[in-house]
Structure 1
């Protein structure tokens, strides 16, 4: 029986003041650069930060979600002011939503394609993806324990802090623009909300990243009645997979893990010329594989002690054989050969062929004896 079976289900109270989700339309807002708080709130990765407001179930059940948002503003970063160097004023820009990617009331972060127009005279407008952490459109009801409410303001702050920390680390260590998207910073904007007859300003956080004009790998791994994925040779598919595993190894060496390496979190940018002519016999070609979605990632030096052992102690990245020898890649579905399904040895033989021999010189020595599974 589910753990909440002995509890009464709770439903959020009526909330007529709560505005309609605004991110599915052509919203335009002014955004300002923002320093996120230190990452927090992810079990076993980052400790929970004690919020400056009451998040007990008893208190939350007395609130509408609108009142929660009005009375519990986002958490600000704490800064040591002793000997601090004066910072230049934060940048500002205009964000105009072009189209939604994933926008839904209750889902948590909202994803949109947008045009960013910087307010300085030297920068040109550019297209980006905005990941918007608006607590008013997180689910107030706990999906895993329906008898409990969710402190959506704290949850949105936690998601924002973790995502921003990951991208800032990737940018600092030179990982963005290749296996990770380019990162354009963390930002905030103001929306108005009316509560009990009074208009209030509320702050909403977001991160801006590179827009990848491509396809989600998940859609090519599990197409209906399509095995293998249409238009890609097996050799090329395995080249792409090898690049993904190499990217994960190099990200680990930089000092972090995305912790969710699955096709739904990988965007594939296809070669336009091949895409135009593949139906006439030319195979499709992936130009670049990009890992997205860092909401459960961990930056090792920012995490508790138990994660410190992951930090790199070698000049070269760990060999992907070390990382993936006993890890099933069945999540990649039709992207991998059929004989890999439930066959660890076939996958291991490929790993040895791809990352062993002279190819192993690009990585640190394998740290353990690698034994093949029984056929």
Structure 2
């Protein structure tokens, strides 16, 4: 245990790491994604690995980050030196970056059954591939960094580490990392108290979202709804490009009055934790749902209160009140008031056209299958009939 504590101090304040560019495999580790070549059998413990300690598994050559390429690691021009200023439990300045570290040595060994029987090194690789894959996808569409919802993306990397255990003296292992912009703000979850059923209780009075500056404001209902609108507008931008957070959780929504060190006049909202989202273009069967829409989908198309359940209390709970059939709910009315008509120069909603197109395509495919089946059955009947009409000749 003492060696493990020493190992984790390699990420401590003032420590320096050398980063090397890394190209991880496509996102994987969920049923919607393909398993990359060469990984299907390696995801679970082999007979050789079953009796290995966690540390031994992490130092094993077969369990380094998938697609690791060390051929350029000795070239100083192909590396990046970073110094760890502080961990995120403490305050740090705005002009810094965040290293998201996917170190299997510190992953929990016991995980829920639904997460699969994967060994820790595989789970670290899976999370790295999904996080880096989402940021890379958004970065390719210029949807990272202010004023967009996702923090700025600075690439996927690996670093070399040692162990302070005598058993692994002189050995090194590689750990995957994602480098992003540091958002100097506070999550919605941390801004609020929590009532029954985890309902958020927003703060009263003037609140500082940073401990080192004068930038603060009252989280009135109007201000909270302004922040919610920024969040939804950012999410549908991402959805339009095929990156989709199905549920938005308050711990992943950051509110700040900063863009790096600059103080903003209005709040900035950022969304983090992209390993839990879906990247449509990387799925086994991409839906390409929005490809025929001229504009970003209207938030009314993408959100109902169920998808924003975790933010209940941040949005007014009166939105849950039932309305007469055919009437707009308070949430629907707010969406129209805030974002305008369902179809406009900015947003599109006409899913009917999309659904009709999908339905028609499905009907055509079904008809072709039925036609092929009828032809197959007809051919078999003809063959049976011909065979029954042929009588064996007798000499």
Q: Quickly name the TM-score band, shorter chain normalised.
A: 0.7 to 0.9
Are the aligned partners of 2:189 and 2:200 in contact in 1 as well (CA < 8 Å)?
A: no
Q: CA deviation at 1:49?
A: 5.7
Q: Deviations over 1:274-315 (max 9, x none)?
A: xx9xxxxxxx9752101111012222111111x324353222
1:229 pairs with 2:203: yes
Q: CA deviation at 1:206?
A: 0.4
Distance 1:342 1:358, change over 3 A: closer
Distance 1:129 1:198, change over 3 A: closer
The separation in 2 between residues aligned to 1:358 and 1:315, in whole angstroms, is 13
The separation in 2 between residues aligned to 1:340 and 1:309, in whole angstroms, is 32
Distance 1:286 1:337, change over 3 A: farther
Counterparts of residues 118-137 of structure 1 (less than 5 Å): 127-137=96-106
Q: CA deviation at 1:209?
A: 0.6
The separation in 1 between residues aligned to 2:107 and 2:187, in whole angstroms, is 24
Counterparts of residues 1-375 of structure 1 (less than 5 Å): 18=4, 19-22=6-9, 23-47=11-35, 50-51=38-39, 53=42, 55-56=44-45, 60-71=49-60, 72-77=62-67, 91-101=78-88, 127-140=96-109, 142-145=110-113, 150-177=118-145, 178-193=148-163, 194=165, 196=167, 198-222=169-193, 227-230=201-204, 231-270=218-257, 286-305=266-285, 307-325=286-304, 327-341=306-320, 345-357=329-341, 360-368=344-352
The separation in 2 between residues aligned to 1:114 and 1:235, in whole angstroms, is 30
Which of 334-343 and 210-219 deviates more?
Answer: 334-343
Q: CA deviation at 1:227?
A: 4.6
Are the aligned partners of 1:221 and 1:334 in contact in 2 as well (CA < 8 Å)?
A: no
Q: CA deviation at 1:57?
A: 7.2
Gaps of 5+ in 1: 1-14, 80-87, 104-111, 116-125, 277-283, 370-375
Q: CA deviation at 1:259?
A: 3.3
The separation in 1 between residues aligned to 2:307 and 2:24, in whole angstroms, is 35
Q: CA deviation at 1:64?
A: 0.6
The separation in 1 between residues aligned to 2:290 and 2:171, in whole angstroms, is 45
Q: CA deviation at 1:99?
A: 1.4
Are the aligned partners of 1:245 and 1:320 in contact in 2 as well (CA < 8 Å)?
A: yes
Q: Deviations over 1:39-71 (max 9, x none)?
A: 111233454765374724765541110111122
Higher helix share: 2
Distance 1:358 1:60, change over 3 A: closer
Are the aligned partners of 2:21 and 2:78 in contact in 1 as well (CA < 8 Å)?
A: yes
Aligned length: 316
Q: Deviations over 1:74-106 (max 9, x none)?
A: 243399xxxxxxxx9974221211111269xxx
TM-score, normalisation: structure 2: 0.69
The separation in 1 between residues aligned to 2:38 and 2:93, in whole angstroms, is 34
The separation in 1 between residues aligned to 2:77 and 2:297, in whole angstroms, is 38
The separation in 1 between residues aligned to 2:255 and 2:25, in whole angstroms, is 32
Distance 1:134 1:62, change over 3 A: same
Are the aligned partners of 2:183 and 2:256 in contact in 1 as well (CA < 8 Å)?
A: yes
SS at match of 2:25: coil
Gaps of 5+ in 2: 70-74, 205-217, 324-328, 354-395
Are the aligned partners of 1:265 and 1:292 in contact in 2 as well (CA < 8 Å)?
A: yes
Are the aligned partners of 2:34 and 2:283 in contact in 1 as well (CA < 8 Å)?
A: yes
Larger radius of gyration: 2
The separation in 1 between residues aligned to 2:242 and 2:159, in whole angstroms, is 31
